[in-house]
Amino acid sequence: MSAPLRVMLVDDHALVRSAVRQALAAPDIEIVGEAATAGETLLLAPQLQPDVLLLDINLPGTDGLRLVRELAPRLPETKIVMLTVSAARRDLIDAVRAGAAGYLTKDLSPEALQRAVRGVRSGDLAMSRTMAADVIEHLTSATRRPGPPGEASDLADLSAREEEVLHQLSDGLTDRQIADRLSISPRTVETHVANVLRKLGVRNRSQAAVRYRERRDPDGPEA
């Protein structure tokens, strides 16, 4: 018999971790660790070296996608699978780009979650057929996208919330003003802005605002 599948859970809600732990209760699955924050995960995961890391997208202080980008190179043998409430296509695409080996939503039944986690060991893609089709369609269309390689990162790569933040940023709003307008915390705004800068390949907010205005109005104002 093969050794139990070693799984680590990362979610900032204790009740969610408890529910997932119960859903994965099986002789061939072992929960080897849990974390509630990105900091805890960065410390614990390299020590545990789990076979599968189930990771929520929304974490305090950062987002799960940034955490995937940090962990994937450090844990080459670990399959990182997003487990989230978000079924947004952009979150799915961003997760796969960051290095996630799967994308599952929290409305899965315990049996479906167990099947998905077990399947990761044998190389199965831990996501629904619809999501897998979305990933393939996106990757295929990206290879056909015109323009120089340097423009691969564009507004199309931003999530809906990131583009919303960028729109407010281009209007000259501060982080606090954006947070108030979108009913989110200033720290969350900072995270979104950092993601926008990275995806657009720019160094600062001013450049991001210029890029946004150029892409929205490529011909500029009429004379």
Same fold, 5-139 and 149-216: no
Calculate mean pLDDT across residues 51-80. Answer: 88
Confidence of residue 122 (pLDDT cuts 50, 70, 90): confident
Please indicate whether residue 143 or residue 33 has the higher confidence score (pLDDT).
33
CATH H superfamily, domain 5-139:
Response regulator (3.40.50.2300)
- Residue type at 120 in one-letter notation: V
- Positive or negative, the Cα torsion across 13, 17, 18, 20? positive
The answer to whether 117 touches 81, Cβ cutoff 8 Å, is yes
Q: With a cut of 50, say whether residue 150 has pLDDT above it.
A: no
Tell me what pLDDT residue 147 has: 47
- 74-112: pLDDT as tens digits: 898 999 999 998 888 888 888 888 888 899 999 999 999
The pLDDT value given to residue 142: 56
Does residue 14 have a pLDDT over 80? yes
Would you kindly state where each structural domain of the chain is located, as residue ranges?
Answer: 5-139, 149-216
pTM: 0.64
Q: Would you call 7 helix, strand, or coil by DSSP?
A: strand
Instruction: Return phi, psi of residue 180, to 5°.
Output: -65, -40
Compute the distance between CA of residue 155 and CA of residue 12 in angstroms, rounded to an integer: 30
The domain 149-216: what is its CATH number?
1.10.10.10
Helix 205-216 and helix 186-200, axial crossing angle in degrees, nearest 10: 70
